[in-house]
Amino acid sequence: MSIARFSVVALDTPDPVGLAEFYSAITGWEIEPYDDIHWIQLRSDTGATIACQLAPDHIPPRWPDPAHPQQAHLDFVVDDIEAAERRVLELGARKADHQPGPTWRVYIDPAGHPFCFVHS
């Protein structure tokens, strides 16, 4: 028997609206209506949630620097990694300098969080 059900992953950012729009463009998930920019959520059809939480003093990780570790990251499966890369770079991500393997690519979102595209 489980203790709990997974609900949300929250990402700190100085710009919750911008980061929510970034991840909405990647996933196609809708941004939920909000009155307060301190917490903005995306909702998938499966119930998983990405939330963007206001953190004015957010200091992003410097992956793969162990002095400033990533602590967590998101993985997204893509069918065409080249096309996905072009699109995500247009949205404001940047490709990480260090790439650990040929079947996935690491990017940095506009708030500095690492995330990966994994080729299906």
pLDDT, one tens digit per residue, over 40-71 is: 999 888 888 999 999 999 999 888 888 888 77
Give residue 2's pLDDT.
Answer: 65
pTM listed for this prediction: 0.84
Residues 6+ apart with CB under 8 A from 101: none
Low-confidence ranges of the chain (pLDDT < 50): none
Give residue 89's pLDDT.
Answer: 97
Q: CATH number of 60-120: 3.40.50.300, 3.40.50.720, 3.10.180.10, 3.30.450.20?
A: 3.10.180.10
Question: How many of the other CB atoms lie within 10 Å of CB of 23?
Answer: 24
- Domain ranges in the chain are 1-58, 60-120
* Cα–Cα dist 30/25, whole Å: 9
CATH of domain 1-58: 3.30.720.120
* Cα–Cα dist 56/36, whole Å: 15
